[in-house]
Amino acid sequence: MKIAFIYIDGAVGRGAGYVYASIKGKKQFFNSSYKLLRVLPKQIKGHFDIVMISSMTLSFPYVKQVVHALKAQEDTPILVGGVHPTVVGPSLLAQYPEIDYLCIGEGESFVNEFLDNFGKESLYNVNNLVFRRDGKIVANPVRPPEDLSALPKFPWEKFTGIIDRGGFLYVNATRGCPYACSYCCNAAYLKLYKKAYVRTRPVEQVIDELDFLKHNYKFRLYYFGDDMIFSNREYAMELFAAVSKLGKPYGCMGRVESIDKEMADHLSATGCKYVAMGLECGDEAFRKKHLSRFMTNAQIISAFKLLKARGIKTASFNMVGWPFPGEEKRAQATIKLNKEADPDYIQVTWFYPFPGTKLYEHCIKNDLIDPNEGVMTYAKKSSLKMYVGKRKPFESVAKH
Give me the pLDDT at residue 210, please: 97
> Has residue 154 been placed in a domain?
no
Structural element, H or E, at residue 287: helix 284-291
My answer on whether 208 and 63 are in the same domain is no
- Residue 160: closest CA among 5, 13, 52: 13
As a residue count, the chain comes to 400
CB contact set of 204 (below 8 Å; sequence gap of 6+): none
- pLDDT means per 10 residues, the chain with 400 residues, are 87 87 94 71 91 92 91 95 96 96 97 96 97 96 97 90 78 96 95 95 98 93 95 97 97 97 98 98 98 98 98 97 95 96 95 95 95 67 85 52
Separation between Cα atoms, residue 133 and residue 157, nearest integer Å? 39
My answer on whether 208 and 88 are in the same domain is no
Q: What is the CB neighbour count within 10 angstroms for residue 47? A: 10
My answer on whether 244 and 321 are in the same domain is yes
Q: Residue 301: give its domain's CATH number.
A: 3.20.20.70
- Residue 375: closest CA among 88, 5, 51, 8: 8
Q: Is the pTM of this model over 0.95?
A: no
Last residue of a domain, one of 104, 139, 174: 139
**Angle, CA 128 vertex, CA 193 and CA 378 arms, to 5°:** 70
Give me the pLDDT at residue 202, please: 98
In this structure, the dihedral spanned by the alpha carbons of residues 191, 194, 197 and 203, taken in order and rounded to 10 degrees, is 160
Residue 384 sits in which domain range? Answer: 163-399
Give me the pLDDT at residue 33, please: 66
My answer on whether 128 and 211 are in the same domain is no
> Has residue 156 been placed in a domain?
no
Last residue of a domain, one of 139, 171, 197: 139
- Sign of the dihedral defined by the CA atoms of residues 200, 203, 209, 211, in that order: positive
My answer on whether 241 and 329 are in the same domain is yes
